Amino acid sequence: MAVTNDQLVEALRPVQDPELHRSIVDLGMLRRAELDHTGTAHILVALTIAGCPLRSEIQNRVRSALTTLDGVTDVELDFTVMTDQEREDLRVKLHGSPGASAGHAQAHGHAEGRAIPFAAPGSKTRPLLIASGKGGVGKSSITTNLAVALAQQGHSVGVVDADIYGHSIPQMLGTDRPPTVIDEMIVPPEQWGVRCISIAYFVPDGEAVIWRGPMLHKALEQFLTDVFWDDPEFLLIDMPPGTGDIALSLSQYLPRGEVYVVTTPQPAAQKVARLSAAMAAKVNLPVKGIIENMSWFTGDDGTRYELFGSGGGQELADEIGVPLLGQLPLVPALREGSDDGRPITAVDPDSEVAKSFRMIAERIAVELKPKKIFSSALKVI
Ligand SMILES: Nc1ncnc2c1ncn2[C@@H]1O[C@H](COP(=O)(O)OP(=O)(O)OP(=O)(O)O)[C@@H](O)[C@H]1O
Ligand SMILES: [Mg+2]
């Protein structure tokens, strides 16, 4: 029996736009689906923007969805591009209209007027702030690998690189393209199942960011509002070292944020403990757990060398009264993976350190899952 055009459309319905993770049919991207008498399917797809970087991926997906259909012998795929009006309609459909969420008349090309979705009581996103009282202890490496580990466990995950002066997430994650902008909605690039946004995409390579407080505030606000995060389960925030303006802004933007403190194992953790606790108190967010990094190095002979001493993570956890979620060994491959944009958790999932990352991810996802005590079914009468 011949395939009808409607059947072509139904076969294409499961095909998702690789960036927006929605059906190309539901997004209105499918413009024509017709089968001719020779069995060739003529398909026209409207891309969101001209020069869409994922055009060939869409092509592959459409082809493989149709070639499984009996009666389709060939696929001829053409592309067109959405009009400005169509892009605006798409943005409103996916991301709402700024005016509707915050009562302002219109957005002025940035975050103004749009509410932060993660601050809403009904938000399903858990913002995880990866912080430390100290620099260079591995916050960014941990943010990256933890995000990958959570994604491997089937969670939807985004990362905000909040280290405006010392951004490193795009490099560590290995995102190879900047965000796409659809009518002022910023669609973040995705790598290893993790979406990310960073100031790195907004400033020319090698140029330093020299903004002061208000600009930092604006950039962070834009990262949280104008970016199409699509309600991820986890939004990891790679914090800059120490305490400062950025931590303060984030605490306002993410009142339901959870702080995870990274430390190294030196027993002299008291000072860091005080700094970390001070930061959490200052921003009024709870510290939920400690992650100890660079805990040991395993030599070729299998001996563990505790290069930076031991016990600091546990001491800090006891001091604050939260669990020590895991200890990560010092492994050169972790650093190399960070430098090359190939996180070790993604490229060597069986390694000891990747397993530790997955264990920490699971503890955060399961053990530390906030308990729901509110029920929308209950009403005070
Ligand atoms: N467990 C580890 N094994 C080997 N190298 C590591 C490990 N953790 C971090 N590193 C390396 O140490 C360096 C500092 O790590 P990272 O940049 O993640 O720290 P950070 O706390 O984010 O630093 P900053 O405070 O500058 O933002 C990087 O080169 C990273 O690759
Ligand atoms: Mg960092």
In tens, the pLDDT along 354-381 reads 999 999 999 999 999 988 766 667 777 7
Pairing of strands 30-35, 40-47: antiparallel
Amino acid, res. 240: P
| pLDDT category of residue 103 using cuts at 50, 70 and 90 | very low
CA of 331 to the centre of ligand 1 (A): 11
What does the DSSP 8-state code read for residue 151?
Answer: H
**Residue located via tokens 């858990």:** 126
State yes or no: pLDDT of 203 exceeds 60.
Answer: yes
Neighbours of ion ligand 2 (CB under 5 A): 139-140
pLDDT at res. 376: 65
CA of 107 to the centre of ligand 2 (A): 32
CB of residue 163 inside a 6 A radius of ligand 1: yes
Determine phi and psi for 363, rounding to 5 degrees. Answer: -65, -40
Which residue's CA is the closest to the ligand 1 atom numbered 30?
335
State yes or no: pLDDT of 112 exceeds 60.
Answer: no
Report the C-alpha gap between 349 and 159 in whole angstroms: 20
pLDDT at res. 355: 97
Nearest ligand 1 atom, CA 335: 31
Q: What average pLDDT does the segment 284-302 reach? A: 92
Residue 144 burial (CB count, 10 A) = 36
Q: What is the pLDDT of residues 154-175, one digit of tens each?
A: 999 999 999 988 899 999 999 9
Report the C-alpha gap between 98 and 76 in whole angstroms: 39
For residue 371, count CB atoms less than 10 angstroms from its CB and return exposed for 0-12, middle for 13-18, buried for 19 or more: exposed
Q: What average pLDDT does the segment 259-278 reach? A: 77
Nearest ligand 1 atom, CA 294: 1
Which residue's CA is the closest to the ligand 1 atom numbered 29?
335
| pLDDT category of residue 100 using cuts at 50, 70 and 90 | very low
For residue 186, count CB atoms less than 10 angstroms from its CB and return exposed for 0-12, middle for 13-18, buried for 19 or more: buried
State yes or no: pLDDT of 269 exceeds 80.
Answer: no
CB of residue 137 inside a 6 A radius of ligand 1: yes
What does the DSSP 8-state code read for residue 30?
Answer: E
Which residue's CA is the closest to the ligand 1 atom numbered 28?
335
Measured from the alpha carbon of residue 135, the closest ligand is 1
Mutate to test the pocket of ligand 1, among 129, 130, 140 (most ligand atoms within 8 A of CB): 140
Q: What average pLDDT does the segment 303-311 reach? A: 89
| pLDDT category of residue 133 using cuts at 50, 70 and 90 | confident
CA of 294 to the centre of ligand 1 (A): 9
Instruction: Give the distance, in angstroms, between the CA of residue 17 and the centroid of all CA atoms in the same chain.
Output: 18
Report the C-alpha gap between 203 and 221 in whole angstroms: 17
CA of 223 to the centre of ligand 1 (A): 24
pLDDT at res. 253: 92
CB of residue 331 inside a 6 A radius of ligand 1: yes
For residue 45, count CB atoms less than 10 angstroms from its CB and return exposed for 0-12, middle for 13-18, buried for 19 or more: buried
State yes or no: pLDDT of 247 exceeds 90.
Answer: no
Which residue's CA is the closest to the ligand 1 atom numbered 14?
136
pLDDT at res. 31: 97
Amino acid, res. 327: Q
Q: Where do runs of H (alpha helix) occur along 197-269?
A: 213-225, 245-253
Nearest ligand 1 atom, CA 339: 31
Report which of residues 328 and 266 the model is more confident about. Answer: 328
Q: What average pLDDT does the segment 243-272 reach? A: 83
Q: What is the pTM of this model?
A: 0.90
- Tokens matching residue 352: 């000891």
pLDDT averaged over every residue in the chain? 89
**Closest to 164 (Cα-Cα) out of 241, 242, 224, 216:** 216
Q: What is the pLDDT of residues 61-85, one digit of tens each?
A: 999 999 889 999 999 999 999 999 9
CA of 381 to the centre of ligand 1 (A): 54
Measured from the alpha carbon of residue 293, the closest ligand is 1
CA–CA–CA angle 244, 248, 251 (5° rounding): 140
Q: What is the pLDDT of residues 10-29, one digit of tens each?
A: 999 999 999 999 999 999 99
What does the DSSP 8-state code read for residue 243?
Answer: S
Ranking 31-35, 51-55, 293-297 by mean pLDDT, the lowest is: 51-55
- Distance set, CA 19 to CA 28, 57, 238 (Å): 15, 10, 23
Please report the DSSP string for 81-113 in residue order.
E--HHHHHHHHHHHH--HHHHHS-S---SSSTT
- Tokens matching residue 321: 């009264």
Measured from the alpha carbon of residue 137, the closest ligand is 1
CA of 140 to the centre of ligand 2 (A): 4
What end-to-end distance do the CA atoms of the chain give, in Å?
61
Determine phi and psi for 137, rounding to 5 degrees. Answer: -90, -5
CA of 337 to the centre of ligand 2 (A): 15
Q: What average pLDDT does the segment 45-59 reach? A: 90
Report which of residues 274 and 284 the model is more confident about. Answer: 284
What does the DSSP 8-state code read for residue 16?
Answer: B
**Which residues, other chains included, contact 336 with Cβ-Cβ below 8 Å and sequence gap of 6+?**
none
Are 295 and 306 within 8 A, CB to CB? yes
pLDDT at res. 101: 46
Q: What average pLDDT does the segment 333-355 reach? A: 96
CA of 162 to the centre of ligand 2 (A): 9
- Strand, coil or helix: what is 287? strand
**Residue located via tokens 């995950």:** 157
CA of 103 to the centre of ligand 2 (A): 36
Pairing of strands 40-47, 74-81: parallel
Buried residues in 66-103 as b, exposed as e (16+ CB within 10 A): beebeebeebeeebeebeeebbbebbeeebebbeebee
